[in-house]
Amino acid sequence: MAAGRDDFVIAFRSAFLKKKDKQKFSLLTLIFLSILVIILSNFNFKIIKIIKMGINEVVYRSSFFISIPENKIKSINAQINEHMKLYDDYKIIETDLENLKQKELSINFLKLENDKLRKLIDESIKSDEILAKVLIDKESPFLKSIVVNKGTKDKIKIGMAVIDRAYLVGKVIEVNYTNSRVLLLSDLNSKIPALLEPIGMQAVISGTGKNYGEIQYTKEEYENEIKIKKIIVYTSGLGGLFKAGLPIGTISADNIKKVNFFSDFKQLEYVKILSFNIESTN
């Protein structure tokens, strides 16, 4: 029994404490160092923040360059697929265009009406868009986020909305000097206050870790409404974080909890970071 314990102790000491010929540090030293890094990275001291930002800058830039061959292969693959579906897509787009032209006329009228009403209540929304390139989009199975090439030097702040064309894709959660990390709507930790239109119901949209979202909370039941109307999810603007009315997705008819996002998060190349300001004299 004692011999067995001695063997364990010898094996343990040899494994953890002794440095091999080509190892510069023992395993135990590095394990303690990584625990120290985990603890320190959670403190908001200025020096730690600067070091973290420095590491992020270097790693993001390096990853961008190292990923160039992989991204090239991906884009060639996507181009081939697009060419294969060209004719089918053309037919669909042709009918869509006709429908959109008709809708545009009514939208223009609504826009003018909306501007007039805002003037009546002396409220104006000023919003700025900053175009950003997606540097890293790793499609990790666990955390859904992207890194974009705009940071504090471009006046990016934590919490800003990120959109792809007109559709909301996420929010800024970490800002470095020249780049920032965006948490996508599909991430499990993403929670967005939303408005279900045309029924006008407030809801909270949560990510699922998959390529769709989920209605986590609504004020009232909406099962009956969804059977007769197509429901579109917009940002509600509650909490003041996002501008109200940014389209998020549609509610699936087969599963009323499921939100199909308008934007395909796997195809993001350029996004716009949105800052807005509501001014009211009332």
Return residues touching other proteins (CB under 8 A): 7, 10-12, 14-16, 20-27, 30-31, 33-38, 40-42, 52, 55-56, 59-60, 62-63, 66-67, 70, 74, 136, 138-143, 145, 174, 181, 188-189, 209, 266
Phi, psi at 45, each rounded to 5° = -70, 150
Instruction: Show the tokens assigned to 209.
Output: 């870790």
- Provide the minimum distance between the beta carbon of 110 and other proteins in the complex, in angstroms, as a whole number: 38
Residue closer to other proteins, measured from CB, 19 or 230: 19
**Helices 68-84 and 46-66 meet at what angle, rounded to 10?**
50
Residue closer to other proteins, measured from CB, 36 or 93: 36
Residue closer to other proteins, measured from CB, 134 or 195: 134
- Provide the minimum distance between the beta carbon of 68 and other proteins in the complex, in angstroms, as a whole number: 10
- Provide the minimum distance between the beta carbon of 238 and other proteins in the complex, in angstroms, as a whole number: 22
Residue closer to other proteins, measured from CB, 195 or 271: 271
Q: CB-based burial of residue 108 (10 Å sphere; 0-12 exposed, 13-18 middle, 19+ buried)?
A: exposed
What span, in angstroms and rounded, lies between the C-alpha atoms of 212 and 209? Answer: 8
Instruction: Show the tokens assigned to 140.
Output: 């990790």
Residue closer to other proteins, measured from CB, 267 or 280: 267
Instruction: Show the tokens assigned to 134.
Output: 């997606």
- Provide the minimum distance between the beta carbon of 277 and other proteins in the complex, in angstroms, as a whole number: 29
The amino acid that residue 89 corresponds to is D
Peptide bond into 141 cis (omega under 30): no
What span, in angstroms and rounded, lies between the C-alpha atoms of 216 and 165? Answer: 26
Q: Which of 272, 244, 249, 276 is nearest to 260 (CA)?
A: 249
- Provide the minimum distance between the beta carbon of 190 and other proteins in the complex, in angstroms, as a whole number: 10
Instruction: Show the tokens assigned to 279.
Output: 């001014």
Buried-state track 156-169, b at ≥16 Cβ within 10 A, e below 16: beeebbbbbeebbb
Residue closer to other proteins, measured from CB, 34 or 114: 34
- Provide the minimum distance between the beta carbon of 272 and other proteins in the complex, in angstroms, as a whole number: 21
